[in-house]
Chains A and B, each alone.
Chain A
Amino acid sequence: MKEGFRQSMAWLHTWSGLLVGWLLFLVFAAGTAAYFRDEITLWMKPELHAAAHPSVPQTVALGHAQTLLEGRAANASRWFITMPSEREPAVRASWMPARKKDAGEAKPRGRRRFESAELDPVTGTELSAPRATRGGDFFYRLHFDLHYMSPLWARWMVGVAAMFMLVAILSGIVTHKRIFKDFFTFRPAKGQRSWLDAHNVTAVLALPYHLMITFTGIVTLMFMYMPWGVQALYPSQDQFFTDLNNALPADAKPARRLAPLAPLAPMLAQASAAWDGAPVGRVTVNFPGDANATVLISRQAGRAIGYDQPTMLFNGVSGRLLSSSTPPGTATETRSVLYGLHIARFSNPLLRGLFFLSGLAGCAMVATGLMLWAVKERQKHAKALARGEGHFGLRLVDGLNIGAIAGVPLAMAAFFWANRLLPATMPERPDAEIRWFFIAWGVSALVALARPSRRMWQLLLALGGVLFALLPLLNAMTGGAHLGTAIAAGLWPVAGFDLVTLALGIALLFAARRLGRPAAIKKAPVTHVTAEAA
């Protein structure tokens, strides 16, 4: 009876993992990169590397932003001001331009585009407009919205994959009989045994993380997957989110009477004082210059795990406090903490590094799991394969494995190269960078499916490795702060990017080299990638 249960769990584990494995690998890889979203964005805007940003009181920085916005975006319907932080040294002022009457240009893919400017928080001078790029936000969006498709469909696909993942993790725990006995065990160069060890070790050592990230990932989109509770109590989802975020009602309207906006700095000071001096994260101004103007101020992340930050709403004309967010109820707070754990914005650099490491373990777990299926299947059909007969399923899985596990890193590297090699002022630049990601990935997947061989593994891994390892050099040669100056100036986001990509590149090259070793071929009839390489 016991054995039967375990075997059925093994079956469940195999198929729930395999079916969605390639999508999961993409989600894990892009999501892991997204922990360093701001750092990636900064690296991809080399124009901003040179600016030094000693800290000033937030009120001063906010005053500069208000001056700029009043001059440039007086007619905008909304302003967003992101205050400087350790990760983003500049003040970012963005606004939603007033709708043009002669709107001939089509709205790009349903999302309204903001315009924005970055300011030096000390002097208030506008930093030379950096090149247009989606930066790290691309990876963040990619990991649940995918691309070139409706975000709604994408979120359902990713959500189903995440549910499968949860099933695979739980059934995997049941299947793995020796969690504690094999806790530290990795036996390299032993074929299937090594793959199983690598899969077990990467899964078990970061198990709390894998369970947490999969479950909380589903929670982040729970109002979409299970809307019924909200539907029963609220006339519309907008209304619900307005309540949840203490935001301005979605149907708020401007008075269409001019009234000067009060200075924002005193409101910021009042909010910060109410939060025991915690810095402010974001200032949103609705209908600036209108008699109905309101100002929403929210606390900077970093104080607590929860995602929802306390907010204060001010009257934009009188500067009077209208309302403060009430302490959340238990259910709201629970969701906030689960959400916050997933995106880890509370983290300091050390904690973020640990999340990143665990994310890499997740990539390796998915990759080794996929490899394991191919290795086992190959043994089942060893005789037929030796006679030269092909096996369609195996060939397909091999091709998809190469396309995903070697192709995704290659595509990421291509994205970073495109960022520096495309002309800085070309039109539609962000889309062009993203296109290079998908061209590189598409080509890798096609050649991998055409010739799923050991040579192909080597070729794509080595190519991705070279592209990654040379990124620090590319950075230095195309106007970024190179490793020497970045470390000397304490510009750790940029230096860290260079060091991590260098390490990833070396790991990929190491994996490609191991594949070429005759000993590895003799002992293991299949490809032999170390766990770190994925």
Chain B
Amino acid sequence: MSTWGATLAALTALTAAVAGFAALSLAMDRHWEALHGRGSDPGTLRRWLQGGGSVGLLVSLLACIAMKGGAQGTVAWAGMLTAAAVIVVLLSTYAPARVPPLAKMMALVALVSALATALPGVL
């Protein structure tokens, strides 16, 4: 994989993991309440957040494997998850209102860079 391709894959892996963890955190009552006030809950949105979050983590894994192969890719994924989770924890502690916009932005970046990584191979 070229340096450019590897950089894109790394970007996909990190942004997808951040978006995924952010969505998963919002699916939890405590973090949802921090945004929308006590007693509120995500309702039917919860399933979508959980599903979307899981997809984000899965995309991150695939990007890592595309970047470094199955063995090293799995190791890289574990590291990416740690880095992404640290970002989400710090943000939901000190700026919880920023979590949803960050999740959307990261998901968008992940989508674009994943397409940029995959398309040259498909076309």
Question: What is the interface of chain A, defined by CB distance below 8 A to chain B?
Answer: 181, 183-188, 201, 205-206, 208-209, 304-305, 341, 346, 348, 350-351, 354-355, 357-358, 361
B95 at the interface (CB under 8 A from A): no
In the bound complex, do residue B75 and residue A351 qualify as a contact, i.e. CB atoms below 8 Å apart?
yes
CA of A183 to CA of B80 in the docked complex: distance in angstroms?
16
B79 at the interface (CB under 8 A from A): yes
Whether B79 contacts A355 by the Cβ 8 Å rule is yes
Please state if A357 and B83 are interface contacts (CB–CB under 8 Å): yes
In the complex, which residues of chain B have a beta carbon less than 8 angstroms from the beta carbon of A348?
68
19 additional A-B pairs beyond A184-B28, A346-B72, A357-B79, beta carbons within 8 Å, are A181-B28, A183-B85, A184-B25, A184-B31, A184-B89, A184-B92, A186-B93, A187-B93, A201-B89, A205-B81, A205-B85, A209-B82, A304-B71, A305-B71, A348-B68, A350-B10, A351-B79, A355-B79, A358-B82
Kindly state the interface size class of chain B when it binds its partner.
Answer: 20 to 34
Contact B76 A351 (CB under 8 A): yes
Q: Is the CB of B71 within 8 A of A350?
A: no
- Residues on B with C-beta less than 8 A from A209 are 78-79, 82
A187 to B82 CA separation, bound complex (whole angstroms): 19
Asked if B82 and A188 sit within 8 Å, CB to CB, the answer is no
A205 with B93: CB separation less than 8 A: no
Chain A residues with CB below 8 A from B104, complex form: none
How far, in whole Å, are A187 and B30 apart by their CA atoms in the complex?
Answer: 12
Look across to chain B and name the residue whose beta carbon is closest to the beta carbon of A530.
B90
B89 touches A205 (CB 8 A): yes
Residues of A within 8 A of B86 (CB): 205, 357, 361
Residues in A whose Cβ lies below 8 Å from that of B90: 186
Identity of the chain A residue whose Cβ is nearest the Cβ of B80 in the assembled complex: A354
On chain A, the residues within 8 Å of B82 by CB distance are: 205-206, 208-209, 354, 357-358, 361
**Which residue of chain A has its CB nearest to the CB of B31?**
A184
What is the bound-complex CA distance between A88 and B92, given in angstroms? 40
Bound together, the chains give a CA A201 to CA B82 distance in angstroms of 10
Chain A, residue nearest B91 (CB): A184
CA distance A346 to B80 in the complex (A): 17
B107 adjacent to chain A (CB < 8 Å): no
Min CB distance A497 to B, Å, is: 20
Taking the closest CB of chain A, its distance from the CB of B69, in whole angstroms, is 9
Instruction: Report A-chain residues with C-beta under 8 Å of the C-beta of B71.
Output: 304-305
Q: What are the 4 tightest A-B residue pairs by CB atom distance, in nearest-first order?
A: A354-B79, A184-B25, A205-B85, A208-B78
**Measured CA separation A184–B88 after assembly (Å):** 7
Set B10, B21, B76, B89: member contacting A186, Cβ < 8 A: B89
A-chain residues with CB within 8 Å of residue B24 when the two chains form the complex: 183
- The answer to whether A351 and B72 touch across the interface, beta carbons within 8 angstroms, is yes
Looking at the assembled complex, report how far the CB atom of B100 sits from the nearest CB atom of chain A, in whole angstroms: 14
Say yes or no: A354 contacts B83, CB within 8 Å.
yes
A341 and B28 CA atoms in complex are apart in Å by: 34
Task: Point out the residues of chain A lying under 8 angstroms from B88, CB to CB.
Answer: 184
A357 to B80, CA, bound (A): 10
Bound Cα distance from A341 to B71, whole angstroms? 11
Please indicate the chain A residues that have their CB under 8 angstroms from the CB of B75 in the complex.
Answer: 305, 341, 351
A185 touches B30 (CB 8 A): yes
Least Cβ–Cβ distance between A345 and chain B, in angstroms: 12
Contacts of A185 on B, CB cut-off 8 Å? 30, 89
Asked if A305 meets B72 with Cβ closer than 8 Å, knowing A181-B28, A354-B83, A357-B83, the reply is: yes
Q: Measured between C-beta atoms, what is the minimum distance from A40 to chain B in Å?
A: 20
A184 to B78, CA, bound (A): 16
Q: Write 5 A-B pairs (CB below 8 A) sorted by A numbering.
A: A181-B30, A183-B25, A183-B85, A205-B86, A361-B82
User: Are A184's CB and B72's CB within 8 A?
Assistant: no
Question: Once bound together, how far apart are the Cα atoms of A348 and B83, in whole Å?
Answer: 16
How many angstroms between the C-alpha atoms of A361 and B78 in the bound complex? Answer: 13
Q: Which residue of A lies closest to B93 (CB)?
A: A186
Contact B79 A184 (CB under 8 A): no
Q: Which of B80, B81, B93 contacts A188 (CB 8 A)?
A: B93
- Residues from chain A with a CB closer than 8 A to the CB of B10 are 350
Report the minimum CB–CB distance from A360 to chain B (whole Å): 10
**What per-residue 1/0 map shows which CB atoms of B23-45 lie under 8 Å from chain A?**
01100101100000000000000
**Which chain B residue has the least Cβ–Cβ distance from A344?**
B75
Cα distance, A187 to B90, chains bound together (Å): 10
Give A185 to B24 CA distance when docked, in angstroms.
13
CA distance A218 to B88 in the complex (A): 32
Q: Which residue of B lies closest to A352 (CB)?
A: B79
Nearest B residue (CB) for A337: B71
Tell me, in angstroms, the Cα distance from A488 to B119 when the chains sit together: 33
B49-87 CB mask vs A (1 if < 8 Å, else 0) is 000000000000000000010011001101111110110
A304-B10 Cα distance, complex, nearest whole Å = 19
Write out the residue numbers on chain A whose beta carbons fall within 8 Å of the beta carbon of B81.
205
| Bound CA–CA A354/B60 (angstroms) | 15
**Nearest B-chain residue to A354, judged by Cβ:** B79
Q: How far is the CB of B20 from the nearest CB of chain A, in Å?
A: 12
Q: Is B25 in contact with A354, judged by CB distance below 8 angstroms?
A: no
* Min C-beta distance of B117 to chain A, whole Å: 15
Which residues of chain B are near A357, meaning CB under 8 Å?
Answer: 79, 82-83, 86
CB distance from A327 to the nearest CB of B (A): 16
CB distance from B49 to the nearest CB of A (A): 13
From A350, which residue of chain B is reached at the shortest CB distance?
B10
Chain B residues in 8 Å Cβ range of A350: 10, 76
For B31, the chain A residues whose CB sits under 8 A away are 184
Q: Which residue of B lies closest to A205 (CB)?
A: B85
Across the interface, name the chain A residue whose C-beta is closest to B79: A354
A201 to B88, CA, bound (A): 11
Chain A positions within 8 Å of B21 at CB level: 184
- A187 to chain B minimum Cβ distance, whole angstroms, is 8
For the complex, give the distance between the alpha carbons of A127 and B83 in Å: 39
Report the separation of the CA atoms of residues A304 and B70 in the bound assembly, to the nearest whole angstrom: 11
